[in-house]
Structure 1
Amino acid sequence: MTQSGTVSAAISYDQNVTPDVIFGSGVSNGSFTVDRNNGIELGLRGKLRHNAAGNPENTFNSNGDGTYSFDAGVAPGQSSPTAVWSFEWSINTDFDGSTGLNVGDLTYALGLDNDPSQDTSFTVFDPIFDLGGLTPPDHSFGNNSTGNGGGEETLSWFSISFFGTIGITGYNDLVADNNVAQNSWKPHWYFASFDPTVDGTYDIYLAAFDDSGAQQARTEIQIIVGNGAAADVPEPATLALMCLGLAGVGYGRQRSRRNA
């Protein structure tokens, strides 16, 4: 997905996000792949959602280069298609106090690669404004002074399913009044036809845009599951043709030298 606008600064690895992880008390900061550009900070990371005992923990399996490695398979104590891993995103529209922007002043694109092979097939949506069937979603909102686990939410996913659809006024107020939004998601909630038992690679990106549609910041990660996606190996016939082609090139060069 190519967008016009300001080119992002270099992405930084294994970073803390500003001000902290504000969803889920006890969830550690760190291991985010972050872009800080134009006063905007965007972060993504992979996370071990369920350990061998089926409990959550602060393990992120970062490889230090924007990739995160996890075992394939259904998470312990969970049912399919819940994977061992999840991904977490963070938006801060004024991380250094220079923009005065709140979350609602920009638009966003979250791209999720549905293809476990080395090819990519992205589902793209705005995680703030494309609410789907959830009214509202359970994002955590705050500002640059919000402490760990101190984010404010309109209501929980449980409340939505138990009490039914609730008015969106409170969510809109949080979007308009705060510069930080974060969440933690399991892949099968949003990845199409997701199979946690398949080895593969999944690319994820998060971008922010101003009113003109110009990209202001962008970060991206890759989740490596199991042994990752196998490299595309040419079919035997194709490989033979390639070898003949290379041989022909070599023969042509030899003739050129002889005729020189």
Structure 2
Amino acid sequence: MRWLKQLLDFYINSSIHVALSVFAFVQMTGFLFRIEEVGVSAYFAFFGTIVGYNFVKYDALARTQKLQMRTELKAIATLSFLSFLAAGFYFLQLAQNTKIIAFAFLILTMLYTLPFFPNRKNARNWAGVKIYIVALCWVGVTLFLPLINAGIPLSIDIFVVAVQRFILIFVLILIFEIIDLQLDDPNLKTVPQQIGVERTKIVGSVLLLLFILLGFFQTDFSFTALFLRLGVAFTILLFLLFAHEKKSKYYSSFWVESIPILWWLSLLWFLNPS
């Protein structure tokens, strides 16, 4: 069974799993707003996430030569290069306006990783900023990018979904910050570092309640969709309440990041008329 654990670790460490979560969110956008051709945006987001996340995770270590190229890391580097080529292929198929949006989020990702300004750390180390940058990037790539590519004008429903998705991703990141509390640099000033674990869980619980309430402002309201949102919110709430610093890395990196995938599959199962 050792090879199975190694395969799972590679699946997680190479960012394939988080990329599937991004892919699921893009597909949900296509489903909710009836976008027939969402594939290009979804595949661009999938491969771009692998490149972006691996760049964020391994670039700093590689530049300081603290990263030894073990077999797994060589495989991750190869996967990242192939994903870069695939992301470039799908980027060229995006509409012109969408390319501008995609490029903007690329710059934000680089700003998040590289120290552009003299004598300053990268955005990842700016106190209290990390969680907002990550949530904003997810909303932009998984919601606005496919909508703009499909030429769909902004509406109240889009605004509501954007706020909902930002809240959802924000709470998911809170779970990661609780589990990584002992590992994170104190200067990061994550939410648990600033207000404590218990208050973080209260904040997350309130945000999940707001996530549910916002659903009533959508014009295309249905009780089935409400039921699914309740299920997702309750699942995240359980993961949030049971999160602590000694939890296994699989708790967040696999199970928590599986929630968007399960939500997308549930939407297809319960709401797809075919």
TM-score range, shorter chain: under 0.3
State the TM-score, normalized to the length of structure 2.
Answer: 0.24
Give 1 or 2: higher helix fraction: 2
Give 1 or 2: higher strand fraction: 1
Rg larger in 1 or in 2? 1
State the TM-score, normalized to the length of structure 1.
Answer: 0.25
The structure showing larger relative contact order (alpha-carbon pairs under 8 Å, at least 6 residues apart) is: 1
